[in-house]
Amino acid sequence: MSEKKRILLIDNEAGLCRMMEQILLDNGYLARAYTDPRKAVEEFQPGAWDLVITDIKMPGMSGLEVLQKVKERSKDIPVIMITAYATVDMSIQALRKGAYDMLTKPFEPEELIYRVKNALQQLVLLEENRELRKELEGKFCFDNIIGTSGGLKNILGKIEKVAVRDTSVLITGESGSGKELIAQAIHYNSPRHERKFIAINCGALPETLLESELFGYRKGAFTGAKENRQGLLEAADGGTLFLDEVGNLPMNVQKTLLRFLQEKEFNRLGDTSPTRVDVRILSATNSDLKLAVKVGTFREDLYYRLNVVNIHIPPLRERTDDIPLLAAHFIHLQNQKFATTVKGFDKDAMQALCEFNWPGNIRQLKNVIEACMAMVGEDYICRETLEQFIEVVTIPRSAAGRDVSEAGDVPFNAALDRFEADLLKGLLKKHGGNIENAAREAGMNMATIYRKIKKYGIRKEECC
């Protein structure tokens, strides 16, 4: 059974307080009434109440003062204001100060309960949004982008610098290499992280639809435009718009986008007055935009506007050191989703995994692992299972560039240990072997750092 919601009532009319208290108790709420607003505010504690209902006109302290004091201590708690003399000016004043709703005397019990339910539902939605935001921030923080290769570390360093600035970023790389994930990491580590991240694949829509989808339109702008419609650029106001496969933008859309980047305004289709929005543009492509500029299919001025900072993601075949860790990560996700206990790839399968060319990059690796796990019934995925989904070619170990079989069977925990050891070595080297400074940057206490150094056999003098 869910916990009862706690409601604080404040009204100098004792009879009204008793009536509201009884109505709320009868409907399964916990309620406490105060006839002295000063005492109520003095005893108000954040977290002790889920909702406040207060009269506006009271001797000693007005309801608006109560509202202000309550919001100073608990900004998210909903407050319902009660008044017998509701005016437009008073309502606007209360709403500006953070009131959730206004209730006019006299009112029926049903109306009180209706308003209470709505206010408490807002509290639930706020909590859900807060949890979702935490989940997204966790999902897209730099540390959770999987990989330890030098190329990826350079990318993360670049992201960290550009995320805090409203600079346009062009992300380049082959299809499936994780361009949208990098764009999300930039957004969710930027000052805009609480606002929307909206992505659109510019190559997936026809030219006419793409223009209206991006910029919106006015009623009557074209056949079928029966009402005003907001475009994605306007919907992303305050946040980030990610243009995937930006090289597919038609010339007329390129022109409108260029104007927005220069003036921060655009015209909806069929509209004569401009619309101003505050949106950061991130874009990505797997094509050669410089060549497109040369042959005249992409505007040179737009190219330089989008490509203020370039982040190039190397293909997976150039970061084979990351394959065991990525594989372990995808296996872990599948185990969680389907309650399975697959531990990893055996040695032969892991060698084949690292020697494969991966034309579809990380997306292909993820799909292959999902397919293998659907077929395997043992603890480890073997080479024979893998051969059903990729063409495994035996390559001499010397030609592979490194002894991938030394990676062994790499379940999630083993890969995570390897990543953690590399991270600690890097931090110690960065701080000249100073464990206190390394611990501070890693967000660990000194005891944890010492324990992990011992666990991984890291010698401090090697990192000086």
CATH code at 437?
1.10.10
Tokens of 378: 């043992």
Of 134, 150, 165, the last residue of a domain is 134
Of 106, 134, 162, the last residue of a domain is 134
Q: Is residue 164 domain-shared with residue 103, that is, in the same domain?
A: no
295 inside domain: yes
Order of strands across the sheet that contains 79-83: 30-34, 6-10, 51-55, 79-83, 101-104
Q: Is residue 289 domain-shared with residue 265, that is, in the same domain?
A: yes
Contacts by 94-98 with C-beta closer than 8 Å and gap 24+? 94/56, 94/63, 94/64, 94/67, 97/64, 97/67, 97/68, 97/71, 98/67, 98/71
CATH number of the domain at 194, please.
3.40.50.300
From residue 38, alpha-carbon distances to 72, 156, 380, 397, 452 in Å are 15, 53, 68, 80, 54
- Alpha-carbon distance of 293 to 311, in angstroms, equals 19
CB-facing half-sphere around the CA of 25: CA atoms within 13 A: 10
Q: Is residue 129 domain-shared with residue 156, that is, in the same domain?
A: no
pLDDT at 376: 84
199 inside domain: yes
Q: What share of the chain is helix, strand, coil (3-state, %, to 5)?
A: 50, 15, 35
DSSP-derived 3-state class of residue 131 = helix
pLDDT at 86: 60
Per the listing, tokens 């065991």 go with: 324
User: Which of 164, 158, 250, 259 lies closest to 213 in space, CA to CA?
Assistant: 250
pLDDT at 399: 38
Q: Is residue 302 domain-shared with residue 321, that is, in the same domain?
A: no
Is the torsion defined by CA of 374, 378, 380, 381 positive or negative? Answer: negative
170 inside domain: yes
Number of H helices, E strands in the chain: 19, 14
- Alpha-carbon distance of 166 to 67, in angstroms, equals 36
CATH number of the domain at 348, please.
1.10.8.60
Tokens of 186: 């930039």
CATH number of the domain at 45, please.
3.40.50.2300
DSSP code for 160: H
Q: Is residue 152 domain-shared with residue 295, that is, in the same domain?
A: yes
Q: Taking the CB of residue 59, how many other CB atoms lie within 10 A of it? A: 9
pLDDT at 407: 41
Q: Is residue 196 domain-shared with residue 281, that is, in the same domain?
A: yes
Q: Is residue 305 domain-shared with residue 168, that is, in the same domain?
A: yes
376 inside domain: yes
Q: Is residue 159 domain-shared with residue 225, that is, in the same domain?
A: yes
pLDDT at 404: 41
- Alpha-carbon distance of 369 to 14, in angstroms, equals 68
Contact 30, 5 (CB under 8 A): yes
pLDDT at 293: 94
Of 314, 338, 371, the last residue of a domain is 314
pLDDT truncated to tens, each residue of the chain (464 aa)? 357 889 999 999 999 999 999 999 999 999 999 999 999 999 998 888 999 999 988 988 999 999 999 999 888 899 999 988 766 677 777 888 888 888 888 888 999 999 999 888 877 777 776 666 555 555 445 555 777 777 787 888 888 899 999 999 999 999 998 899 899 999 988 999 889 999 999 988 887 788 888 888 777 667 666 777 888 998 999 999 999 999 999 998 999 999 999 999 988 888 778 889 999 999 999 999 999 999 999 999 999 999 999 999 999 998 888 899 899 889 988 998 888 989 999 989 998 999 899 999 999 999 999 999 998 878 899 999 999 999 875 544 333 334 444 444 445 556 667 777 777 887 788 777 887 777 777 766 666 677 778 777 787 666 66
User: Which of 58, 60, 56 lies closest to 97 in space, CA to CA?
Assistant: 56
293 inside domain: yes
**Residues of the domain holding 344:** 317-410
1 inside domain: no
Per the listing, tokens 């309801």 go with: 63
Q: Is residue 219 domain-shared with residue 303, that is, in the same domain?
A: yes
The 3 state secondary structure assigned to 365-413 is: HHHHHHHHHHHCCCCEECHHHHCCCCCCCCCCHHHHCCCHHHHCCCCHH
155 inside domain: yes
DSSP code for 246: G
Contact 316, 356 (CB under 8 A): no
123 inside domain: yes
pLDDT at 24: 94
Contact 140, 163 (CB under 8 A): no
The 3 state secondary structure assigned to 247-309 is: HHCCHHHHHHHHHHHHHCEECCECCCCCEECCCEEEEEECCCHHHHHHHCCCCHHHHHHHCCE
Contact 174, 315 (CB under 8 A): yes
Q: Is residue 310 domain-shared with residue 322, that is, in the same domain?
A: no
DSSP code for 126: H
pLDDT at 121: 85
Q: Is residue 112 domain-shared with residue 252, that is, in the same domain?
A: no
DSSP-derived 3-state class of residue 148 = coil
User: Which of 228, 221, 231, 246 lies closest to 198 in space, CA to CA?
Assistant: 231
pTM across the whole model: 0.58
Q: Is residue 95 domain-shared with residue 18, that is, in the same domain?
A: yes
**Number of folded domains in the chain?**
4
